[in-house]
């Protein structure tokens, strides 16, 4: 098997927040000797005998696994036998650990070509921005060959479909995509965002770094900052959606309400969500009993067809505002908690880096001032003794 790696420095925007991959590669043959990806481990172990068989070994942390694999038919057999392996990472480590079986994994490193994988919202935003900025050419919106679209390209990486109604005083900034049937009101500002089809955006609205998937309604004076809004979301007048928030299908935010950063909102009660999960479980069992094939049920399709209840008193005004629809969703999945922790550590790292840079600037300015004062004192002393 051959693994495709993309050259990308640690903390690169297309690498996930918990990506801390360390590899050891035979420089002559390209054989993969070590594959460790654990953010909590400060050291890696490689048997001394490896260096006897491979005299030239390179340890690298600047490689990102592009999740592209070229496999021989034996890989399918190994995956069948080792059914306890939950991911390809486990499979790769298992093959490296069982060298006695004679299986080998080789690498191919790319640097000029583009390769990335969307694993979370962080990489979703990074890859989307790369597509908009044309790093993935010819896979760009205005080529219109991946789906039935009509995008045209304009200066500043602005893409617009046909039948877009823009007020003369609105401002569409750089790195922005606007879908067909969307209307934007007077004095509204949109930049570095993706606006889906049939969205209605009022006047004096500000949208920055956000994704509106489709049929969203944003009323006058609303602010959306680096958030994701699914289909049918309604944001009432003067409401504010803080950065990192995710609003699920048909969520409604009340007028003047402020959604806190990193908030997830759904328009399902816990009982309704459990009912959908049960229905999907039964449908999946029926699908497996029928022999599989296409048409596998999924939760996203069920949520798109769901109509949230508007019963009085069902939704809390403290979570979605007055006359809002939805509730705060708390994901207790261990992996999600890990991702949230990675995000907070990344934010802390960015803040620490900025603070350190500011400290260096202040220190350099202080040294400059001290130097000027010393030079002046030295010149004054010479003039005095003359």
- Residue 19 predicted with pLDDT over 60: yes
Tell me how far apart the 2 most distant CA atoms of the chain are, in Å.
105
pLDDT of residue 260: 94
pLDDT tens digits, residue range 254-273? 999 999 999 999 988 777 76
Better-scored residue on pLDDT, 346 or 55:
55
pLDDT confidence tier of residue 352, bands split at 50, 70 and 90: very low
pLDDT of residue 363: 64
Q: Bridge-partner residues for 246, per DSSP?
A: 228, 264
- Residue 312 predicted with pLDDT over 90: no
Better-scored residue on pLDDT, 283 or 235:
235
Alpha-carbon distance of 149 to 158, in angstroms, equals 15
pLDDT tens digits, residue range 360-376? 666 667 677 767 667 76
Q: Tell me the mean pLDDT in the region 309-329.
A: 81
pLDDT of residue 288: 54
pLDDT confidence tier of residue 47, bands split at 50, 70 and 90: confident
pLDDT of residue 347: 40
Residue-range domains of the chain with CATH: 2-110 (no CATH), 121-269+314-328 (2.160.10.10)
- Residue 354 predicted with pLDDT over 50: no
pLDDT of residue 129: 95
pLDDT of residue 349: 41
pLDDT of residue 187: 96
pLDDT confidence tier of residue 197, bands split at 50, 70 and 90: very high
Q: Tell me the mean pLDDT in the region 170-196.
A: 96
Tokens 């400290």 sit at which residue?
359
- Residue 54 predicted with pLDDT over 60: yes
- Residue 380 predicted with pLDDT over 80: no
Beta-sheet pairing, 32-37 with 21-26: antiparallel
Alpha-carbon distance of 128 to 64, in angstroms, equals 18
Computed over every residue of the chain, the mean pLDDT equals 81
What percent of the chain has a predicted confidence (pLDDT) above 70?
Answer: 76
pLDDT of residue 378: 64
- Residue 128 predicted with pLDDT over 90: yes
DSSP 298: -
Contact 69, 3 (CB under 8 A): yes
Nearest in space to 211 (alpha carbons), one of 235, 182, 184, 178: 178
pLDDT of residue 268: 80
SS3 287: helix
pLDDT of residue 342: 39
Better-scored residue on pLDDT, 17 or 219:
219
pLDDT of residue 112: 85
pLDDT tens digits, residue range 25-46? 999 999 999 898 888 888 888 8
pLDDT tens digits, residue range 224-240? 999 999 999 999 999 99
- Residue 341 predicted with pLDDT over 50: no
Which segments of 263-333 does DSSP mark as H helices, in order?
270-289, 299-305, 317-320
pLDDT tens digits, residue range 91-127? 888 888 776 567 888 999 998 889 988 988 989 999 9
Alpha-carbon distance of 127 to 157, in angstroms, equals 15
Q: Which two tokens stand for residue 7?
A: 């050259």
pLDDT of residue 306: 56
Alpha-carbon distance of 10 to 71, in angstroms, equals 27
């Amino acid at each position: 098997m051959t693994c495709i790696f993309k050259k990308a420095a640690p903390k690169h925007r297309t690498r996930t927040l918990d990506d801390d991959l360390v590899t050891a590669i035979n420089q002559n043959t390209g054989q993969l000797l070590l594959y460790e990806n654990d953010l909590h481990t400060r050291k890696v172990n490689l048997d001394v005998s490896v260096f006897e068989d491979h005299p030239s070994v390179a340890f690298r942390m600047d490689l990102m696994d592009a999740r592209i694999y070229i496999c021989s038919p034996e890989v399918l057999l190994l995956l069948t036998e080792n059914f306890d392996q939950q991911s390809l990472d486990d499979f790769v480590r298992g093959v490296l650990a069982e060298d006695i079986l004679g299986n080998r994994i080789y690498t191919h490193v790319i640097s000029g070509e583009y390769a990335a994988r969307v694993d979370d919202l962080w990489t979703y935003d990074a890859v989307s921005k790369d597509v908009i900025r044309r790093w993935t050419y010819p896979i760009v919106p205005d080529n219109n060959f991946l789906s039935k679209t009509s995008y045209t390209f304009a200066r500043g990486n602005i893409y617009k479909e046909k039948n877009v109604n823009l007020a003369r005083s609105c401002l569409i900034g750089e790195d922005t995509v606007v879908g067909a049937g969307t209307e934007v009101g007077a004095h509204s500002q949109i930049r570095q965002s993706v606006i889906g089809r049939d969205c209605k955006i009022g006047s004096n609205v500000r949208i920055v770094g956000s994704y509106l998937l489709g049929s969203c309604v944003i009323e006058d004076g609303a602010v959306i900052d680096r958030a994701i809004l699914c289909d049918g979301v309604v944001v009432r007048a003067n409401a504010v959606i803080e950065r990192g928030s995710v609003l699920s299908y048909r969520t409604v935010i009340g007028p003047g309400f402020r959604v806190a950063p990193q908030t997830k909102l759904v328009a399902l009660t816990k009982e309704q969500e459990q009912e959908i999960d049960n229905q999907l479980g039964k449908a999946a069992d029926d699908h497996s009993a029928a022999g599989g094939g296409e048409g596998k049920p999924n939760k996203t399709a069920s949520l798109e067809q769901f109509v949230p209840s508007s019963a009085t008193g069902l939704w809390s005004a403290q979570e979605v505002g007055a006359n809002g629809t939805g509730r705060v969703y708390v994901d207790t999945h261990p992996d999600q908690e890990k991702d949230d922790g990675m995000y907070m550590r990344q934010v802390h790292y960015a803040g620490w880096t900025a603070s350190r840079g500011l400290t260096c600037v202040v220190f350099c300015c202080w040294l400059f001032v001290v130097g000027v004062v010393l030079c002046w004192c030295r010149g004054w002393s010479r003039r005095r003794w003359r």
